[in-house]
Amino acid sequence: MGNILLYSTNVFLKFLIQEKFMHDIHYAWCSEDFDSATLPAYSSASLVPPSSNPADIFRTLRKDIQNHDSHSAKINEQKVSLTSRAIEWEKSGLISTANKDDIIYMVNNPAWDYWRPLIYVIPRLPVEKRLVLVPMSGRAGIGNEYTIDDLKRSEFEIIEP
């Protein structure tokens, strides 16, 4: 077992959508360290690249929001991801058509503030058995990354610096 905490950076809008439309059950892609850049250079954990490093994702999102960057790769990726998810959820009967429409409208017409990054801090032990290691082909680097698709609100804390 690795570190006792896991970290994941997510935009507020994603949190809100999962809270309101998915019964407060959250999906998170997480890492064992908040900032791989601060780890010893020869540890495998330091090899989580900026595109997967929670601290870098946080900094990128914050900068893009401050600059109101409408071409932000991270924000537009989130728009596509959340829109696709809503379509998928409706097709599989998890949400109604009205909910799908509401999500897609929110995703494509939010206040800038809704893209603000939140840091999820997840105690590892209670969720250990539900962690799925992201295979090398899905990772941007060789540091460990995990996904968890049924994270309850009581299983993580939110930090909004």
Partner 1 sequence: MLQSLKHLPPGEAERVLSSFASTLLPSPEERPVAFPDPVLAQHLLQELSRRAEVTRIKDPSEVRGRVFSVLAQELSGYALQSANLNEIKTRLGNRGELRSDYYKIEMPPSIRVLQKRGIRPSHIERAIRQPSAVEHFSQSGFVPQGEQLLSMFAKVIGSPTDTRTFTLLVETQRKGATQIVLTAWRIYHSDIKLLSRMTPLLILKAFVEVFGLKFRVGDGPETNFLLYQRIPIAKGRENTNLIAITNPERHNLAAQNLLKINSEGYAEVAIAYVIDMDTYAAALNRHGVKLES
Are 141 and 106 in contact, with CB atoms under 8 Å apart?
Answer: no
Tokens of 127: 């969720």
Determine how many CB atoms are found less than 10 A away from the CB of residue 160: 8
Tokens of 136: 């090398």
Which residues within the stretch 57-76 sit at the binding site for partner 1 (CB under 8 A)?
69-76
Listed in sequence order, the DSSP H helices in 10-160 are 12-21, 54-66, 73-91, 97-108
104 part of the interface to partner 1, by CB under 8 A: yes
Q: Which stretch binds partner 1 (CB under 8 A): 2-10, 38-46, 120-128, 130-138?
A: 130-138
101 part of the interface to partner 1, by CB under 8 A: yes
130 part of the interface to partner 1, by CB under 8 A: no
Q: How far is the CB of 45 from partner 1 (least distance, A)?
A: 18
- Dihedral, CA atoms, 132, 146, 39, 50, nearest 10 degrees? 150
18 part of the interface to partner 1, by CB under 8 A: no
Q: Which stretch binds partner 1 (CB under 8 A): 39-47, 96-104, 121-129, 151-159?
A: 96-104
Q: How far is the CB of 95 from partner 1 (least distance, A)?
A: 12
Q: In what order do the strands lie in the sheet with 157-159?
A: 132-133, 145-152, 25-31, 5-11, 117-123, 157-159
The footprint of partner 1 (CB under 8 A) covers 16, 20, 29, 69-77, 79-81, 83-84, 86-88, 91, 98, 100-102, 104-111, 114, 132, 134-135, 137-138, 140, 145, 147
